[in-house]
Amino acid sequence: MPKTTNFQQLDALDRHIIRELQRDARLTNQALAGTVGLSESACLRRVRRLEHDGLILQYVALVDQAAAGYPDDVFVQITLQHQQQSHLDAFEAAVHQLPEVMECHLMSGIADYLLRVVVADSRDYERLHSQHLTRLPGVDRVQSSFALRTVVRHSAVPVREPD
């Protein structure tokens, strides 16, 4: 998918479309066009261009994590034994296979990776830790912190006006 456009190149209508779709991706083209002040055909052309250019990646349903049986977030710092690319690749391929891993970030600093995992409770995390996380390729150290409460969680990327 070509990425020929970035946020700085968007006009006010494109930014408005992105904000509205991030707020409610189920908007019909008719409703979206009315909200942003475009004809339906012009609005659809812009949405298709934003999709084609890779600014809109996909449309998803946000599921209530607690209602799905995973009320707890655990942030896991993982340090590998070696940092060669082959070791990083092996770890990353394996971590993709764990459905509880919601995010995995290669980090600078003390730990190599920061994961956000979802679990039912501390016992569920103990299972994930002992049966999976410590067995991932190349893992040297695992440090975990349970989130006590989520204060802010956004799903929408900020759409700023150009400088």
Q: How confident is the prediction along the chain (163 residues), in pLDDT tens digits per residue?
A: 456 566 668 999 999 999 999 999 999 999 999 999 999 999 999 999 999 999 999 999 999 999 999 999 999 999 999 999 999 999 999 999 999 999 999 999 999 999 999 999 999 999 999 999 999 999 999 999 999 999 999 999 998 887 7
**pTM here?**
0.87
Report H helices in 53-134.
85-95, 122-131
Contacts of 88 (CB under 8 A, 6+ apart): 80, 106, 112
Which residue ranges form the domains of the chain, and what is each CATH number? 7-52 (1.10.10.10), 72-146 (3.30.70.920)
Describe the crossing of helices 40-52 and 29-36 by its angle, rounded to 10 degrees.
Answer: 100
Contacts of 19 (CB under 8 A, 6+ apart): 156, 159
Query: Of 133, 155, 148, 147, whose CA–CA distance to 21 is shortest?
Result: 155
Structure tokens at 149: 């409460």
